[in-house]
Amino acid sequence: MNFIKKPKTIVIKSPLKGKLVNLVDVPDPVFAEKMIGDGVAIKPLDKNVYAPVSGKIVQLFHTNHALGIEIAGGLELLLHLGLDTVKLKGEGFTALVEEKQQVRTGDKLFEVDWDIIREKAVSTITPVVITNMEVVEKMEVLVEGELSVGDDLYRVITS
């Protein structure tokens, strides 16, 4: 008996209030050249960062500048707060979650002092990317311009 795995559709929500930035326009080649995954980025306008999907926090960087969420079905999402922010060693970032914690879409994940990030890092631009693109059959950006928290960012269909 053969089992056919049905494609699954997942909508990634905006974790921030801000302005959409095309990933290829991000001033960091790791993201712009999609070396670690595909998605979008956001130029933030508010200190609060929320879960863009429901899932499990599988990695929270000790510097609180990024986290990974595993979504049901194995899709992996990276939320990276600003660019070149690892060098801040946590300054400006307050994590409100911890590794292995289950989160639901819209749960508050971080508070960020973007003034510190603007002053001490390359950029506040925040990539929201799928890191295991090998399981993605199709990705479609659903929005442009100004974003509110919870707006549909992009749709992913897994194979």
Residues marked active site are found at 80
C-alpha to C-alpha distance for 14 and 142, rounded to whole angstroms = 11
CA-nearest of 104, 120, 102 to 112 is 120
CA nearest to 130, candidates 11, 45, 18: 11
Which tokens go with 41? 């980025």
Q: In the beta sheet, which residues pair with residue 21?
A: 41
H or E stretch at 154: strand 152-158
Q: Give per-residue burial for 40-61: e unless 16+ CB within 10 Å, then b.
A: bbbbbeeeebbbbbbbebeebb
